[in-house]
Amino acid sequence: VSLSIKGASLKGLVVHKQGRGEVHHFTSQQQLSETCTDPVISTSSYTTADAVISSETVFIVELSLACGNGAQSVALYADVNGKQFPVTRGQDVGKYQVSWSIAHTQASSGTYQVKFFDEESYSALRKAQRNNEDVEAIKPLFTVNVDHRGAWSGPWVSTEVFAAVVGIILYYLAYSTKSSIQA
């Protein structure tokens, strides 16, 4: 059951009926979500730089959010290239984090645009996706650009091959020098 009250919504609503007068008690399994107006954000981001020790490229965006209307309990969702991810709320007020990973071969270097939606606009986005409507018409609450320089996948020649080639060259030089001295 979902209930919307002036920009706040209750999800996972539990209704208890009591007696003949049918007194209803509403308890939410999730905190109320507020609507944010005039967001002010500060962000930091991390992307995997070394593909040698990991199997996927990881992207992490951390942000601080202050709303012009003073909203502190804002539920956020992120959209990256048409894929949606839930945004985790930190213990500190206004702190959020979202992360995702993709295979190194699919994680090209460049700028990734991360669109952040509140609950209302996220609901509109999902509805537009279900109905094959224009999702670009749904405006995000704010957008963050994440620069990814690409992941280093190691040297072109492995260390073992390089060591073997150097060993063969040294052996050849030593053998040819020995042959010229004995001649």
Per-residue pLDDT of the chain (183 residues; tens, 9 = 90+): 434 444 444 444 443 434 444 444 443 334 457 888 899 999 999 988 877 777 888 999 999 999 999 888 889 999 998 899 999 998 888 899 999 998 888 878 889 999 999 998 899 999 999 999 998 889 999 999 998 887 766 666 778 888 899 999 999 999 898 888 886
Going across the sheet that includes 88-89, the strands are 40-47, 56-66, 95-103, 88-89
Structural fold of domain 39-174: Immunoglobulin-like (2.60.40)
Alpha helices by DSSP H, listed for the chain, are 119-130, 159-182
pTM over 0.75: no
Secondary structure of residue 149 in the 3-state scheme:
coil
Domain ranges (residues) in the chain: 39-174
Query: What would the two tokens of residue 140 be?
Result: 């995000």
- Quote the tokens at residue 170: 């040294």
